[in-house]
Amino acid sequence: MAAGYVEYEGIRVPGEGYHTLESLTFATKEFQVRDDDVFNVTFPKSGTTWMQEILSLIYSNGDPTTIKTEFSWDRVPWIEQHRGRSDLEHRPSPRLITTHLPRYLIPPSFNNTKAKVIYTIRNPKDVCVSLYHFSLMASFLEKHEEFQDFIPLFLSNKILFGSWFDHVKGWLTMKDQPNFLLLSYDNMVKDLRGNVVKICKFLGKELDDAAIDSVVEHSSFQAMKDNVMSNYSVVPNEIFDKARGSFIRKGVSGDHKNYFTPAQEEEFDRIYNESMKDVDLSTLI
Ligand code: A3P
């Protein structure tokens, strides 16, 4: 295993300055959630950065100045990362917050608020492919050069932030609550505008058609690939080896078809069906 993970209350996350015991304790126990907080929640590689861009644009009424001048991780910071406390504790409302934490690690103060959660899911086979590529370029992740060797890691609970299955099932316990919006990366690829309208409605943000058009234009795959404030190209090569790939990589739904053999897909589906037997995500992923 690559060095540098932190084990915390049932999950494994990258250490090496990203997460510390202190930052995880702050995020999961001390952070004071406010009624008007908006959480961008994902399992890694499910569209986190995309939602950071969309939320930034919605809250600037479609004006792209902020997304072109501030880094995505400053605009919509992670609570659990090492800068979570300093980035978020005294930030004026409404705060836009990112997290990969499983539901059971969300701080107790969340339960007494009307804070909104947007949970974006993605086809787990595509998440697996995306994370495989990301692990090859990111210095802090366990690597398997062969995709076939990465699949068992993905299916285990030793992957980042616990197993994909537990993450999704944990957050879906909120699915009938009015402060929870379930979206899918795969549907966003098909109909970005429709999803932006849905997000605005959920957040009570009234944007006119021109502002919505601007959100859609500036959060397109190509626009984000070109935006140095969101494409992670400024991260030093020792951390993200750009010779091995790009963070904003391919941006499609169904890329797993290019990686899984029929037998691997059958086995993955078998595990999926067993783990998710009480959950119907067929219209989403
Ligand atoms: P791929 O590796 O499949 O291309 P996260 O931000 O959660 O780490 O997710 C990263 C994934 O989202 C990558 O998937 C990346 O290319 C994709 N992505 C980022 N911005 C996107 C956009 N505007 N449209 C579609 N996909 C996007």
pTM value is 0.97
Cβ atoms < 10 Å from Cβ of 261: 10
CA distance 169 to 244: 33
Ligand 1 centre to CA of 263 (Å) is 26
Q: Which pLDDT score, from 0 to 100, does residue 1 have?
A: 40
Q: What is the mean pLDDT of each run of 10 residues along the chain (285 residues)?
A: 78 92 97 98 98 98 98 98 96 98 98 96 98 95 95 93 97 97 98 98 98 98 98 95 96 98 98 95 92
φ, ψ at 283 (rounded to 5°) = -90, -5
Residues 99, 40: contact at Cβ < 8 Å?
Answer: yes
Q: Return the pLDDT at 2.
A: 47
Kindly give, in sequence order, each residue whose CB lies less than 8 Å from that of residue 194, ignoring residues fewer than 6 positions away.
none
Q: Which of 41, 42, 45 to mutate to test the pocket of ligand 1 (most atoms within 8 A of CB)?
A: 45
Say what the pLDDT of residue 49 is. Answer: 98
Bridge partners of 184, per DSSP, are 121
Cα–Cα distance, 34 to 199 (Å, whole number): 19
**Gap from CA of 144 to ligand 1 centroid (Å):** 21
Ligand 1 atom closest to the Cα of residue 130 is: 2
Determine which residue's CA is closest to atom 27 belonging to ligand 1: 251
Closest CA to 182 of 170, 193, 190, 171: 171
Domain ranges of the chain: 5-275
CATH of domain 5-275: 3.40.50.300
Backbone angles phi, psi at 98, to 5 degrees: -105, 145
The C-alpha atoms of residue 68 and residue 9 are separated, in whole angstroms, by 37
Q: Which residues line ligand 1 (CB under 6 A)?
A: 42, 44-50, 126, 130, 133, 189, 219-221, 224, 248-251, 255
Q: Which of 42, 50, 188 to mutate to test the pocket of ligand 1 (most atoms within 8 A of CB)?
A: 50
Ligand 1 geometric centre to CA of 47 (Å): 5
Report CA(93)–ligand 1 centroid distance (Å): 27
Contact predicate 168/160, CB 8 Å:
no
* Bridge pairing between strands 11-14 and 116-121: unpaired
Residue 231: CB partners within 8 Å, gap ≥ 6?
Answer: 224, 225, 246, 247, 248
Give catalytic residue positions: 100
Tokens of 6: 């932190």
CB burial of residue 158 (10 Å; 0-12, 13-18, 19+): middle
